[in-house]
């Protein structure tokens, strides 16, 4: 328990990467979009700037896992404690981030899209449903992106650079191949129709088993990794 708490505190000290930078960058993107909407005017202006926070959580989880592992091992912290402490911290930061995103989404609706028809935090489909449903969707997405980064970081610690590069290249090739197959056989229409037939909340719940699988694989990689 002490080792797990120590890892949690180590992650908590990374305020710049976990707290300040993600929101600063997304805030800057938000202000730029506000400015663009004022200059352009016209109809409702939808932006994908919200994706910034998810991408940044992915990158931060990846980098902090690699950076803190050797440091934690230097204090004789067990590998299982490092995994547990990091996982709990990711859950903690995901809850805070999701709550803030829901609050900003509510403010966006309350202000009439900030008075300039800018849709940044409240997007169709993603923010459909109650505030609780929106919170769950954001929570699952933040955890999923964070655990993807965490999983890649754990894989790197276990297999190092070359094998990690090969793994990522293989995944990209596989996804590209599936995209080509879907285009060749005109599957994109039915795929989009299938997604449209489900709510964002329903689809987000499908990511929970994926997160658990990534967590188990990450734990196994960390247990067999070397400093």
**Longest CA span, the chain:** 60
Give the Cα separation of 163 and 159 in Å (integer): 6
How confident is the model over 34-55, as a mean pLDDT?
A: 80
How confident is the model over 158-163, as a mean pLDDT?
A: 88
- On average, the pLDDT of the chain sits at 89
Share of the chain above pLDDT 90, in %: 48
Number of compact structural domains in the chain: 1
| pLDDT on residue 42 | 62
pLDDT band of residue 1 (cuts 50, 70, 90) is low
| pLDDT on residue 193 | 86
N residues, the chain:
227
The more confidently predicted of residues 153 and 15 is: 153
How confident is the model over 203-215, as a mean pLDDT?
A: 93
The more confidently predicted of residues 115 and 42 is: 115
Contact 175, 112 (CB under 8 A): no
pLDDT band of residue 152 (cuts 50, 70, 90) is very high
| pLDDT on residue 145 | 95
CA 142 to chain centre: 4
Please state the φ and ψ torsions of residue 119, each to the nearest 5 degrees.
Answer: -105, 100
Please state the φ and ψ torsions of residue 51, each to the nearest 5 degrees.
Answer: -65, -20
| pLDDT on residue 227 | 67
Q: Is the pLDDT reported for residue 108 higher than 80?
A: yes
Q: Is the pLDDT reported for residue 33 higher than 90?
A: no
How confident is the model over 202-225, as a mean pLDDT?
A: 92
Q: Which two tokens mark 215?
A: 């967590």
Highest-confidence segment of 59-68, 71-80, 123-132: 59-68
| pLDDT on residue 148 | 95
The domain in which residue 88 lies consists of 2-223
């Amino acid at each position: 328990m002490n080792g797990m708490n120590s890892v949690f505190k180590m992650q908590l000290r990374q305020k710049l990467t976990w707290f300040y930078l993600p929101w600063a960058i997304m805030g800057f993107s938000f202000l730029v979009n506000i400015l663009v909407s004022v200059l352009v005017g016209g109809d409702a202006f939808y932006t994908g700037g919200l994706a910034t926070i998810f991408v940044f959580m992915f990158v931060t989880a990846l980098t902090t896992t690699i950076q803190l592992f050797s440091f934690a091992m230097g204090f004789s912290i067990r590998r299982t404690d490092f995994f547990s402490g990091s996982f709990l911290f990711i859950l903690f930061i995901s809850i805070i981030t999701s709550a803030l995103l829901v609050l900003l989404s509510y403010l966006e609706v309350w202000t009439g899209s900030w008075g300039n028809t800018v849709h940044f935090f409240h997007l169709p489909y993603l923010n459909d449903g109650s505030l609780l449903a929106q919170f769950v969707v954001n929570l699952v997405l933040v955890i999923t992106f964070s655990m993807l980064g965490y999983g890649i970081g754990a894989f790197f610690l276990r297999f190092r650079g070359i094998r990690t590069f090969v793994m990522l290249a293989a995944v990209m090739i596989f996804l590209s191949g599936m995209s080509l197959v879907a285009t060749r056989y005109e599957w994109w229409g039915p795929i989009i129709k299938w997604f449209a037939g489900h709510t964002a909340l329903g689809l987000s719940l499908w990511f929970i088993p994926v997160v658990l699988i990534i967590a188990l694989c990450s734990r196994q990689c960390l247990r067999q990794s070397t400093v």
